Amino acid sequence: MAGWIALLRGINVGGHAKVPMAELKAIAGRLGWSGAETYIQSGNLVFDAEGSAEALEAALEKALGQAFGFAPAVVVRSATQWRALVKGNPFEADVDPSRVMLGLAKGRLAKGAAEAIEARGVAGERVRQAGEALWFHYPEGAGSSKITPAQVDKAAGSPVTARNWRTVLKIGEMLG
């Protein structure tokens, strides 16, 4: 079986779209996935399963819809892809890692997405595309940014979910 990472978008934020991590692990088990582990409450799932990323996304979204009455966007990447993402961080060497986020789109990124998003930034915020990943550097912190999730989705042409650098590294450690 292959190793995978599933990222759920927009759950457990401000008391909305609640998905308990114990239930997320149980859903993975009911789908026949093995070794399911979660990390923090933002919807990070590491597991082993057979199938394509698209099929795994669809299965998890359907199961979440049945269990909770809503289906958050799910982005799935293979362990191999995740390791390449970690190595592809364009900001790792030159900035405070607590100010870096990785954004992954559910679909293919639209041409010029990084530039369109960066144009909305303030206070030296930078956005870079590395393959199918968007990397964000927020010098003043993401909480003070004027870049909204809706703007990111529009520029990317697909729903995007983001994780901070510490979470990206922790998921990498969970993969072994």
What are the residue ranges spanned by the domains of the chain?
A: 2-81, 88-174
**5-19, 26-40, 96-110: segment of lowest average pLDDT:** 5-19
What pLDDT band is residue 1 in, cutting at 50, 70 and 90? Answer: low
What pLDDT band is residue 140 in, cutting at 50, 70 and 90? Answer: very high
Whole-angstrom distance, CA of residue 132 vs CA of residue 148: 20
**25-29, 39-43, 108-112, 167-171: segment of lowest average pLDDT:** 39-43
Q: Do domains 2-81 and 88-174 have the same CATH topology?
A: yes
- Determine the pLDDT at residue 176: 81
- Determine the pLDDT at residue 92: 75
CB 102 within 8 A of CB 134: yes
Identify which of 25, 12, 30, 117 has the alpha carbon closest to the alpha carbon of residue 72.
Answer: 12
Query: How many beta carbons lie within 10 A of that of residue 166, not counting itself?
Result: 12
Residue 97 confidence (pLDDT) above 90: no
Residue 42 confidence (pLDDT) above 80: yes
CB 37 within 8 A of CB 156: no
CATH architecture of 2-81: 2-Layer Sandwich (3.30)
What pLDDT band is residue 10 in, cutting at 50, 70 and 90? Answer: confident
Quick one: average pLDDT of 62-71? 95
Assigned fold of 88-174: Alpha-Beta Plaits (3.30.70)
Whole-angstrom distance, CA of residue 71 vs CA of residue 93: 37
Residues 6+ apart with CB under 8 A from 141: 99
**14-23, 60-69, 115-124: segment of lowest average pLDDT:** 14-23
CB 63 within 8 A of CB 74: no
Residue 24 confidence (pLDDT) above 80: yes
User: How much is the pTM?
Assistant: 0.94
Quick one: average pLDDT of 128-136? 96
